[in-house]
Structure 1
Amino acid sequence: MIRLSGVSRTFTGRHGTLEALRDINLDVAEGEFVAILGRSGCGKSTLLRLIAGLLPVSAGQITVDDTPVTGARRDIAMLFQRPALLPWRSVLDNVLLPTEIFGWKRKEQRVRARQLLEMAGLAGFENRRPHELSGGMQQRVSLCRSLIGNPRVMLMDEPFSALDALTRSELAGELQRIHMDNGATVVFVTHSIDEAVLLADRVVVLSPRPGRIREMRSIDIPRPRTLGRNDHLAQVAQVSADLHELLMTKESPDPVATA
């Protein structure tokens, strides 16, 4: 579904050149949930923006469904760290925003929007304004907005990072359920090992800048997964410990990056 072939990205500015990503090769299958994990500054968010078509690659190629990515696409939805809701619009109208941008039939989408809000536990909040909601509720609205067009690909850039631990866990469980229901292909950027293990079919670990694929780890644990007491607690704990140890182990310095 998604293929990155030899993808690199370099930024050039008045302070010089910064190599953010180098030679990324990655295939994401249709319906797969892939988590991108790594330390701050390793290029995780840049990688997501390249897949979304919000940034051009410096080298290599990205394709989605065998079509080269050259800009933003309607079948790709992106969820950011902050909900980015329009404060003057109601919850329902925020969810319906993509229908106006892409010219979809609003009447048909209103039914879909209400269904999504009900699924997210927001029935009865359709006419509220964003400032009347908690941070977790706002992010649920943002998630509903990203789902309104039934996207084939969902790109998520640390969408729960600003939330408290309990709300993060709650929304991670909600996202598991949504993914199991709609089967979208998901690429999820996080710096949280627990989040990666709870959500992903596969975890891609990036090295420090310039970001390169250091390791890929399949998560063969039945869903739904939780950090609480369950039949798979030992497996979840073991995979989390392995990834923690990997991230704590420093790589040998890259001769090109440090030259």
Structure 2
Amino acid sequence: MIRVENVTQVFASRGGSVHALDGIDLHVREREFVTLIGRSGCGKSTLLRLMAGLLTPTQGRVQVAGELVTAPRPDVSVMFQRPALLPWRSVVSNVMLPVEICGGDKKQHRDRAHELLELVGLTGFANKYPHELSGGMQQRVSLCRSLVTRPKVMLMDEPFSALDALTRTEMSEELQRIQMELATTIVFVTHSIEEAIVLADRVVVLSPHPGRLRETVEIEIPRPRTLGLDTHAADVARLSSRLHALLAAPPRATTDLRMVNQ
């Protein structure tokens, strides 16, 4: 579904070039849930923006469904850390915003919006406004907005990091359930190792400065999973220890930094 081929990203700055990503090769399969983890500054969000078509790679290419990504696509949704709901619009109007931007059958999508609100436990809140909702409820509305156009791919950049621990657990469980029901391909950026394990089919570990793909770890734990204690706690602990070790290891030495466009 998503192919990242030999992608390098360099940003120009007053002090010289900032080498964000170097030679990234990654294939995300259809209906797969992949999480990206790594230290701050390793290029996780940059990689997500390249997949979304919000950035053009300095070198290499990104494809979605066999097509080169050169700009944002209507079949790829992006969800950020903050819900960014428009305060003057009702819940259902916020969910419908992508339909108004991209076009489509408003009646059909409005029915879809109400179905999604019911799916995430917001039945009866369609005509409320953002200020009447809790942070977790607002993020649920943002999730519905990301899903309303039935995207092939969802790209999620730390969407639960600002939530309290209990709400974060609930949202993680909700997202697993939705992904299993809707079979959407998801790439999810997080700083939380436990969250990465609970959500993912595979965890992709990036090393920093510049970001390189250090290792991909398969998560073979039956779903549904939870951040709390359950029958798979030992497996989560084992994988968590492995990922901690990968993140703590120093970057691999290289003599080829491929500093392009300097």
TM-score, with length taken from structure 2: 0.95
Q: Which stretch of the first structure deviates more once superposed, 240-249 or 19-28?
A: 240-249
Matched, 1:196 2:215: no
Aligned residues of 2:91 and 2:128 also touching (Cα < 8 A): yes
Where 1:86 maps in the other structure, the secondary structure is: coil
**Residue 154 of structure 1: aligned partner:** 154
Distance 1:102 1:246 in 2: 41
Letter of the 2:127 partner, please give it.
N
Letter of the 2:96 partner, please give it.
L
Structure 2 alignment gaps of length 5 or more:
none
**Residue 165 of structure 1: aligned partner:** 165
Cα displacement (A) at 1:95: 0.2
Cα displacement (A) at 1:256: 5.9
Q: Which stretch of the first structure deviates more once superposed, 199-208 or 247-256?
A: 247-256
Distance 1:114 1:5 in 2: 39
Q: Please give the root-mean-square deviation of Cα atoms over the aligned residues, in Å.
A: 1.3
Letter of the 2:112 partner, please give it.
R
Letter of the 1:190 partner, please give it.
T
How many residues align? The count is 258
Aligned residues of 1:48 and 1:155 also touching (Cα < 8 A): yes
Distance 1:254 1:42 in 2: 16
Distance 2:229 2:28 in 1: 31
Cα displacement (A) at 1:16: 1.6
**Residue 211 of structure 2: aligned partner:** 211
Where 2:151 maps in the other structure, the secondary structure is: coil
- Trace 1:99-114 onto structure 2 (pairs within 5 A): 99-114=99-114
Q: Percent identity?
A: 60
Aligned residues of 1:227 and 1:236 also touching (Cα < 8 A): no
Cα displacement (A) at 1:254: 5.0
- Trace 1:58-97 onto structure 2 (pairs within 5 A): 58-97=58-97
Cα displacement (A) at 1:15: 2.5
Where 1:209 maps in the other structure, the secondary structure is: coil
Structure 1 alignment gaps of length 5 or more:
none
Matched, 1:138 2:161: no
Q: Which stretch of the first structure deviates more once superposed, 141-150 or 12-21?
A: 12-21
Distance 2:169 2:50 in 1: 28
Task: Provide Cα deviations, 1:44-80, integer angstroms capped at 9, x if missing partner.
Answer: 0000000000000100011111110010101101100
Distance 2:227 2:28 in 1: 26
Matched, 1:234 2:234: yes
Distance 1:15 1:165 in 2: 39
Q: Which stretch of the first structure deviates more once superposed, 26-35 or 236-245?
A: 236-245
Distance 2:143 2:229 in 1: 28
TM-score, with length taken from structure 1: 0.96
Letter of the 1:103 partner, please give it.
G
